[in-house]
Structure 1
Amino acid sequence: MVLLVGLLSGGVFIPHAVAFDFFGLFGRDETPPPPNADTLPYSLDFAVAGRDRKIVQILKDVSTLQSLKNDPPPDADALVRRAEADLPRLNDALWGAGYYNARIAITVAGVPLTLQALRPEAATRAATFYRSRALVPIQVAVDPGAQFVLRNVTVLDARTGRPFLPNELPPRIARIGPGDAARAADIVAAQARIVDHFRAQSRPFAKVTEQNPVVVHPAHVMDISLTVDPGPQAGIGEITVRGAENVDPAVVRSFIYTDPGDPYSPAELASMRKSILSIEALSSVRIREGEMLDAYGNLPLFIDITERQPRVIGASVQYSTTDGPAVRAYWAHRNLFGGAERLRLEGSLFYLTENGGRLDDDDEFDWDDLGGRFRASFLKPALWGTRNDFLAEALVERERTEGYTSRLVNATAGIRHRFSETFSIQGGIEYEKGQASDVLGQVDYTLVGLPLSVTYDSTDNTLDPTRGMKLLASVTPYPDFLGSSVPMTVARGTASAYWSIDDESRYVLAGRLGLGSIVGAELEEIPANRRFFAGGGGSVRGFGYRSLSPTFLGEPIGGRSLLEASLEARIKVTDTIGIVPFVDAGTAFESSFPDFDETIRVSAGLGLRYYTGIGPIRLDIATPLRRDRGDDRSFAIYVGIGQAF
């Protein structure tokens, strides 16, 4: 047996091999510059014995010759130095993949270079001959040999020198064992999982103190021994907020739901960071751990925050073949008085005709088809340093759908209490005065209500959730003794769940269920804009916006209850491209609870996702599985940012 040190032995060779270009699956190589008098461009060929495409890609990923192929050196001496620098890189890459008997030669203009025999002068002379004549031919020839496997894997406790018992370190944690490929990346990943296992047991100083790999070349095996110090168990100590220049640190602390003395865990720190980042005035949060425990055995934490620019302005344009075009602009101040108060002013314009936003050749623009919305909202988080937030909003709106036209003024104010990062409850008061008209007639109304809502959100990402659940339930009574002209109670609930099939979240199943109910008033007494409708983006895609409901004289009139459901399979084809087959279903019902007298409408479609650092850009194409007579819509297209739900 020999320790894993030193250079591999072997001579110059040119194996029987075939080079691969992967048929463009991993991106085609760009053509190098043509021969010229100023630089020395070259052609590059990877020849691997056994025709293993994975090894070719491993070599290309670390090769300087490959990455700088389109940036040729000025002379032959620089070209040979570039090739020489590649030899240890390629060797390390093959060792990391478990090929400890690999042999490598880089041939420059017919002159071979190896780790054991460098001939830079000869290679330089040979390459100089090609200046202004042809590309310098360079070949990377590799005989990887057999891939080594693990024979013995031992994890020792640094405190006792003995192996950990299965109840202390379950074998499933390391995920490596006898017979597995002896890849360096797998061994490093196993070390990280072992450390994470002990850190999750409130041991913040867990670390691998020693690793002893022993390679047995004749047998093509490796024995590996890891020594791990779990470290002491600890709680969370004093939390210090740093970097707050214009934002009150008390606001930041109100979004921390951990108290000193609580058990330490990386998951708790990740939850803490996510919660603090929900403060719109902050752009980044970094949690630093203390280097030693305090006198009580707790670990001090230091939270470094970076603030955003306080003012932001933006605009967007969207279009759906069923919902019509819309434009939106907004202005916001994210730290109005120094307590992370947010003031947001937003205006929208949208256009909808009887054909769902489409103008036929003989149609003319009609101002009556134009809708608009102006909204002003204010958020004061952490009232007096508590977990209570004050929210207020004012809204002026004119809406035009296929079923009704409405105009209204609405104002709400409320208090939200955050029990944790995932759970909150909100209550307040609402006032609305408006007018709505449809085929059933016109309703002038006043509503004064007491909205109450509960929110639970354990998802891992707002725009692209892959794990967790999201629940929102609300109920708002509008009693006549408060001044409501239509005494009724409106209840609504939405639940969505996300399940990542694999660890990398390349395959995610997502489902959504929505329910709604109005009790206390007859259908024709309820303003049309307050009734339930389904259809359109965010509901049942493929159907017109708010077009699914009971009808009268062929026009949708809305219902007193609602049922919606969606199911998506989110599949990443590459790191940036994904496809999403989906099915939506739903409709509104005349009764206060779904009685299924109305036909549940179903649509299906396929979405395309382009994943960016902000979130996925979404393109969905949906079609009804069964259309009503006279409905000429065959499909609908939706474009937006973020997943559909």
Structure 2
Amino acid sequence: MSTNNRILFLFFAGLLLGGTSIAPAAAFDFFGLFGSDDAPPPPSPSALPYSLDFVVAGEDKDLRQVLKDASTLQSLQGDPPPDAPALVSRAEADLPRLIDALWGAGFYNARVTINVAGAPLQIQAQRSNAAIQAADVYRARALVPIEVQVDPGHLFALRDVAVVDAGTNRPFPPSELPPRVVKIEPGDPARSADILAAEARIVDHFRTQSRPFAKVQDREPVVFHPAQAMDIGLKVDPGPRAGIGPITVQGLENVDPAVVRSFIYTEPGDPYSPAALASMRKSILQIEALSSVRIREAETLDAYGNLPLFVDITERQPRVIGASVQYSTTDGPAVRAYWAHRNLFGGAERLRFEGNLFYLTEDGGEPDRDEDPSWEDLGGRFRASFLKPALGGTRNDLLVDGLVERDRTEGYTSRLVNGTAVIRHRFSETFSIQGGIEIERGQTSDILGQIDYRLVGVPVSLSYDSTDNPLNPTEGMRLIASVTPYPEFLGSSVPITVARGTASAYFSLDEEARYVLAGRIGLGSIVGADLEDIPANRRFFAGGGGSVRGFGYRTLSPTFLGEPIGGRSLLEASVEARIKITDTIGIVPFVDAGTAFASSYPDFDEDIRVSAGLGLRYYTGIGPIRLDIATPLTREQGDRSFAIYVGIGQAF
């Protein structure tokens, strides 16, 4: 079996056999992709199992599924009753449930009969002793046959839809309640689910208009059986407009409340809206010392017409330790371990130590099996970071990082020590800027020679993130841009200025976000020195996971004597279509493109390298598990035919 095939086999085996034990199974369900049925147990003297069949006039499959979802005969089929009276009682209890389900689907003239071993049961009829006797005959012999016969009749339609103000009993003008919010109109199917959805939209609409107490005060449906129609009247109380009132933080035991308040950007008196509350919760959860945030609304307005809020918080365990092992067909094997304290001094300070150990390959792939392993072939990265949020209760955070690294790519080897200290200012939950100082000493070697260097710079960056989920965004955009001058007068041996920016956007094509388009573009530029004077690890390279998938890690750049030497500018782009097949399974076709250029700005003297691939996503509570297979479309000599990437979260 080839290495690539082994990786695929182990990946799927790990997902499918993720538990510590394996139990016998009657059927195999691949992540729920093909659905599953609770088969009844075999006949026995101690119980009365049954077979179940739904026969719907017109063979409406969707309606048949609605009935099955409402049926206790269906949901409890794997737990048979002990005797015939209990079985008949279960079937009789299903009759009103099925009628309610049919009415909810808009079939108000529906008729339902349940045949238990050939004996019919009907709603509002006395218990059928014949059904009990007929069912008892099957004990310990065979499954009791139960058939649900449904004649739904005609689908009723809405005839009149009236949405009025409960206070004035007058219809809302379109400017106050647009028809696109109500959506239901005369001629639509008279489904209760559609009516309830319209009510929810109406309430949500008024709540977004700063009316926290909006509600549907009364619902008046009138069904006309001969006309097969329904009139529906909704009396809506929009409630008063309100602002956000005092915000009370509760539940903190070890974290300074001032830190939490610095992450609340809403001020008392700001207009109330559900979106403001959602943003508040998302912002507070950026504090790593907290595990959950719940925002409760007061039941009445205060004397100023504002709505008081209560923020209930649960703290996390302060210490965390973790480790991981990963493998890529282009980047080789690697292990990672980390330890962190998320509330070091009681102010949500985070101290984190992280170590990485990886195999240093000459070509970005797996080790050469013909050579004995050597310590010289091991690379490593050790990072220590400290975060002090909310300095003095403000929206300013202190971030200090230290890094020691030994690395090798196809183009160069490097050793370095780096230290950075910055102050970040948060304008809102989506936008921040930061600036500070960076010092790095290192040595790089490549085909152009060896460079011993010292860099002292002033990094400045900004970040904007309006996405709805960090690991699986379906809407919004991200923007990260930075510029760092390393001037000679500060002590830099190579006076350069490095600028880089990445932007990504996400657009959902449907309300359930089952179809999402995602795009990313990255740019970089170095000015101030010739290419051969810039340390190799500071030059731009493309290729590998997170860049142009399908190509080797940091292999796309200008070359010298066939070796990649990096460039002074960078262009990368990716487009993905994220398609959910089920609630847990998705596929992602994608195209990546990019390369680095010798000039300080992309001049397209280098060929743009392009790859395409297909990804598999398994959606979990913490984020999607990602498997991507990519192949170069503009392949050159030495390029691999394909590459495999495994991780958690979307590619970008």
User: For this structure pair, what is the TM-score category when the shorter chain's length is used for normalisation?
Assistant: over 0.9
Distance 2:372 2:641 in 1: 23
Identity %: 80
Amino acid at match of 1:498: Y
Distance 1:619 1:55 in 2: 37
Pick from 630, 635, 642 the counterpart of residue 642 of structure 2: 635
Match of residue 246 from structure 2: 238
| Structure 2 SS opposite 1:90 | helix
Distance 2:220 2:38 in 1: 42
Distance 2:74 2:226 in 1: 33
- Is it true that 1:594 corresponds to 2:598 in the alignment? no
The CA deviation string for residues 462-515 of structure 1, in whole angstroms up to 9 with x for no partner, is: 000010010000001111111111111110000000011111111111000000
Pick from 35, 50, 53 the counterpart of residue 43 of structure 2: 35
Match of residue 221 from structure 1: 229
Distance 1:25 1:143 in 2: 31
| Structure 2 SS opposite 1:225 | strand
Match of residue 562 from structure 2: 554
Match of residue 510 from structure 1: 518
Pick from 335, 340, 347 the counterpart of residue 348 of structure 2: 340
- Is it true that 1:416 corresponds to 2:414 in the alignment? no
Maintained 8 Å contact 1:439/1:552: yes
| Structure 2 SS opposite 1:481 | helix
- Is it true that 1:45 corresponds to 2:53 in the alignment? yes
Distance 1:355 1:63 in 2: 61
Distance 2:132 2:356 in 1: 67
Unpaired stretches in structure 2, ≥5 consecutive residues? 1-31
Pick from 179, 190, 194 the counterpart of residue 186 of structure 1: 194
Distance 1:488 1:438 in 2: 19
Distance 1:575 1:31 in 2: 23
Maintained 8 Å contact 1:112/1:119: no
| Structure 2 SS opposite 1:181 | coil
Residue pairs, 1:222-371, within 5 angstroms = 222-371=230-379
- Is it true that 1:142 corresponds to 2:150 in the alignment? yes
Amino acid at match of 1:622: A
| Structure 2 SS opposite 1:318 | strand
Maintained 8 Å contact 1:390/1:414: yes
The CA deviation string for residues 553-587 of structure 1, in whole angstroms up to 9 with x for no partner, is: 11111011100000001111111111111000000
Match of residue 88 from structure 1: 96
Scaled by the length of structure 2, what TM-score is found?
A: 0.94
Amino acid at match of 1:572: K
Match of residue 170 from structure 2: 162
- Is it true that 1:609 corresponds to 2:641 in the alignment? no
Distance 2:265 2:634 in 1: 50
Match of residue 10 from structure 1: none
Distance 1:296 1:179 in 2: 45
| Structure 2 SS opposite 1:644 | coil
Bigger drift between 242-251 and 543-552 goes to 242-251
Amino acid at match of 1:643: Q
Distance 2:613 2:360 in 1: 23
Distance 1:388 1:25 in 2: 47
Distance 1:380 1:445 in 2: 31
| Structure 2 SS opposite 1:245 | coil
Distance 1:364 1:625 in 2: 35
User: How far 1:284 sits from its partner (Å)?
Assistant: 0.9
Distance 1:360 1:109 in 2: 70
- Is it true that 1:475 corresponds to 2:483 in the alignment? yes
- Is it true that 1:400 corresponds to 2:408 in the alignment? yes
Maintained 8 Å contact 2:210/2:273: yes
Distance 1:175 1:94 in 2: 22
Distance 1:135 1:599 in 2: 70
Amino acid at match of 1:216: F
Distance 1:69 1:148 in 2: 32
Distance 1:225 1:457 in 2: 43
Amino acid at match of 2:419: A
| Structure 2 SS opposite 1:160 | coil
User: How far 1:323 sits from its partner (Å)?
Assistant: 1.4
Maintained 8 Å contact 2:363/2:409: no
User: How far 1:140 sits from its partner (Å)?
Assistant: 1.0
User: How far 1:31 sits from its partner (Å)?
Assistant: 3.0
Match of residue 379 from structure 1: 387
Distance 1:578 1:118 in 2: 50
Maintained 8 Å contact 1:510/1:567: yes
- Is it true that 1:492 corresponds to 2:492 in the alignment? no
User: How far 1:94 sits from its partner (Å)?
Assistant: 1.0
User: How far 1:600 sits from its partner (Å)?
Assistant: 0.5
Residue pairs, 1:559-598, within 5 angstroms = 559-598=567-606
Instruction: Kindly tell me the number of residue pairs found equivalent between the two proteins.
Output: 621
Distance 2:126 2:62 in 1: 27
The CA deviation string for residues 112-141 of structure 1, in whole angstroms up to 9 with x for no partner, is: 111122434332222111111111111111
Match of residue 4 from structure 1: none
Match of residue 15 from structure 1: none
| Structure 2 SS opposite 1:55 | helix
Maintained 8 Å contact 1:111/1:119: no
Maintained 8 Å contact 1:352/1:402: no
Distance 2:472 2:166 in 1: 42
Match of residue 64 from structure 1: 72
Distance 1:88 1:364 in 2: 75
Amino acid at match of 2:583: D
| Structure 1 SS opposite 2:201 | helix
Amino acid at match of 1:140: V
User: How far 1:365 sits from its partner (Å)?
Assistant: 2.6
Distance 2:562 2:374 in 1: 22
Bigger drift between 110-119 and 255-264 goes to 110-119
Maintained 8 Å contact 2:626/2:650: yes
Q: CA RMSD in A?
A: 1.3
Pick from 48, 53, 63 the counterpart of residue 55 of structure 1: 63
Q: Relative to structure 1, is the Cα distance of residues 123 and 26 closer, same or farther in structure 2, using a 3 angstrom cutoff?
A: farther
| Structure 2 SS opposite 1:239 | strand
Match of residue 26 from structure 2: none
Distance 2:98 2:390 in 1: 56
Q: Relative to structure 1, is the Cα distance of residues 25 and 306 closer, same or farther in structure 2, using a 3 angstrom cutoff?
A: closer
Maintained 8 Å contact 2:244/2:269: yes
Distance 1:283 1:318 in 2: 27
| Structure 1 SS opposite 2:417 | strand
Pick from 529, 533, 545 the counterpart of residue 537 of structure 2: 529
Distance 2:515 2:308 in 1: 38
Distance 2:294 2:117 in 1: 52
Distance 1:465 1:29 in 2: 33
Unpaired stretches in structure 1, ≥5 consecutive residues? 1-23
Distance 1:46 1:439 in 2: 74
Maintained 8 Å contact 1:351/1:357: no
User: How far 1:327 sits from its partner (Å)?
Assistant: 1.3
User: How far 1:34 sits from its partner (Å)?
Assistant: 1.1
Distance 1:381 1:339 in 2: 7
Pick from 195, 199, 202 the counterpart of residue 210 of structure 2: 202
Residue pairs, 1:107-146, within 5 angstroms = 107-146=115-154
Maintained 8 Å contact 1:325/1:352: no
User: How far 1:409 sits from its partner (Å)?
Assistant: 0.8
Amino acid at match of 2:648: I
| Structure 2 SS opposite 1:85 | helix
| Structure 1 SS opposite 2:410 | coil
Q: Relative to structure 1, is the Cα distance of residues 421 and 92 closer, same or farther in structure 2, using a 3 angstrom cutoff?
A: same
